[in-house]
Amino acid sequence: MVNATLSEEEQVEALKKWWKENGRSVIAGVILGLGAVFGWRYWVDYQTGIAQQASVQLVELNQLVAAGKGDSARDQAKRIIEKFQGTPYAVFAALNLAKLMQQAGESESAIAQLKWSLENSSETSLKQIVRARMARIMLSAGKLDEADKVLASAANDSFRGEFAELKGDIARARGDKAAARAAYQEALDNKVSNSAQVQMKLDDLAPAVNG
């Protein structure tokens, strides 16, 4: 069975990749664009306050999700999306909201939420995380052609391994073992986060040895 959501380990790895790729450019852009206008100290204090508020609320959201308090978690996610719209915090809240919808069997609503996230995120790496989640849900719902289209729009960056794994899952769902093996090998060659799991998938598809 294909997991329809990113595991905790995958989310952590995705966040690391996002910061690695965007951290410096975000800081540099802020210094150049806002530092001269508002003053560096004012900006730092303001951003620190926003980040602390959003971080606390995201932690609360994760706790509600982990505790299985779906209704409360949905309300919390919607509050974060409304309050911090236009920031990565809103996108991460939307990812959690989509996860809750998927768990409740609301695949179409989950996909719609992720499409909103894709349209409202300006960060390339966050968009990649959203695409991966969307493709997983589409795959789980049997929407293989739609999942293919989502993957086709993804850039070949540090998430290449994750997308190659998804391509393998789609090929396997279609019964194309050769394509699935090639995709899983590509995922391993590109340092996919959950390499042990991908290796197991590849081993399961190994051609039978005669004699």
Q: How many domains does the chain have?
A: 2
**Is residue 34's pLDDT more than 60?**
no
Q: From 96, 111, 143, give the residue that closes a domain.
A: 143
pTM for this one? Answer: 0.70
The pLDDT assigned to 196 comes to: 95
Q: Is the pLDDT of residue 44 over 70?
A: no
146 pLDDT higher than 50: yes
With 0-12 CB in 10 A as exposed, 13-18 as middle and 19+ as buried, what is 1? exposed
Asked if residue 151 is part of any domain, the answer here is: no
26 and 103 assigned to the same domain: yes
The rounded radius of gyration (Å) of the Cα atoms in the chain is: 19
Q: Judging by beta carbons within 10 Å of its beta carbon (0-12, 13-18, 19+), is residue 188 exposed, middle or buried?
A: middle
Same domain, 42 and 136: yes
Q: What share of the chain in percent tops pLDDT 70?
A: 74
* 198 and 130 co-located in one domain: no
206 is in which domain, residue-wise?
159-211
Is 148 within a domain? no
Summarize the confidence of residues 144-155 as an average pLDDT: 93
Range with the poorest average pLDDT among 17-21, 197-201, 203-207: 17-21
Q: Say how far apart CA 172 and CA 178 lie, in whole Å.
A: 9
Give me 51's structure tokens: 């980040």
Q: Poorest-confidence range of 16-25, 26-35, 97-106, 126-135?
A: 26-35
Are residues 110 and 165 located together in one domain of the fold?
no
Same-domain check for residues 139 and 163: no
pLDDT value, residue 89: 86
Q: Are residues 101 and 172 both part of a single domain?
A: no
pLDDT confidence bin for 8, thresholds 50/70/90: low
**Same-domain status, 179 and 125:** no
Tokens of 15: 């966040």
pLDDT tens readout for residues 56-78 = 888 899 899 888 898 999 999 99
pLDDT-derived band at 211, boundaries 50, 70, 90? very low
Last residue of a domain, one of 116, 143, 170: 143
Closest alpha carbon to 170 in 188, 156, 183? 183
Looking at the structure, tell me whether residues 137 and 178 fall in a common domain: no
CATH number at residue 84: 1.25.40.10
- Could you say which of 143, 169, 193 is where a domain stops? 143
Which structure tokens are listed for 141?
A: 């719902």
